A and B are shown apart, each in its own frame.
Chain A
Amino acid sequence: DTAVSQTPKYLVTQMGNDKSIKCEQNLGHDTMYWYKQDSKKFLKIMFSYNNKELIINETVPNRFSPKSPDKAHLNLHINSLELGDSAVYFCASSQGSGRANEQFFGPGTRLTVL
Chain B
Amino acid sequence: GENVEQHPSTLSVQEGDSAVIKCTYSDSASNYFPWYKQELGKRPQLIIDIRSNVGEKKDQRIAVTLNKTAKHFSLHITETQPEDSAVYFCAASNRNYGQNFVFGPGTRLSVLP
Q: Pick the interface stretch among B16-24, B58-66, B69-77, B91-99.
A: B91-99
Q: Bound complex: CA of A102 vs CA of B51, how far in Å?
A: 12
Query: Interface size of B by Cβ–Cβ distance < 8 Å?
Result: 25
In the bound complex, residues from chain A placing their C-beta under 8 Å from that of B89 are 43
Q: Nearest chain B CB to A41's CB is how many angstroms away?
A: 5
**Is the beta-carbon distance between A97 and B43 smaller than 8 angstroms?**
no
Q: Bound complex: CA of A108 vs CA of B42, how far in Å?
A: 8
| Contact pattern, B 32-43, Cβ under 8 Å of A = 1, otherwise 0 | 101000100011
In the bound complex, residues from chain B placing their C-beta under 8 Å from that of A20 are none
In the bound complex, residues from chain B placing their C-beta under 8 Å from that of A102 are 34, 46, 49
In the bound complex, residues from chain B placing their C-beta under 8 Å from that of A107 are 42-43
Q: Bound complex: CA of A43 vs CA of B36, how far in Å?
A: 11
Could you list 27 A-B pairs, sorted by A, with CB under 8 Å? A40-B105, A41-B38, A41-B108, A42-B103, A42-B106, A43-B44, A43-B103, A43-B106, A44-B103, A45-B100, A45-B101, A45-B102, A56-B97, A90-B43, A90-B44, A98-B95, A98-B99, A100-B93, A100-B101, A101-B32, A102-B34, A103-B46, A105-B45, A106-B43, A107-B42, A107-B43, A108-B43
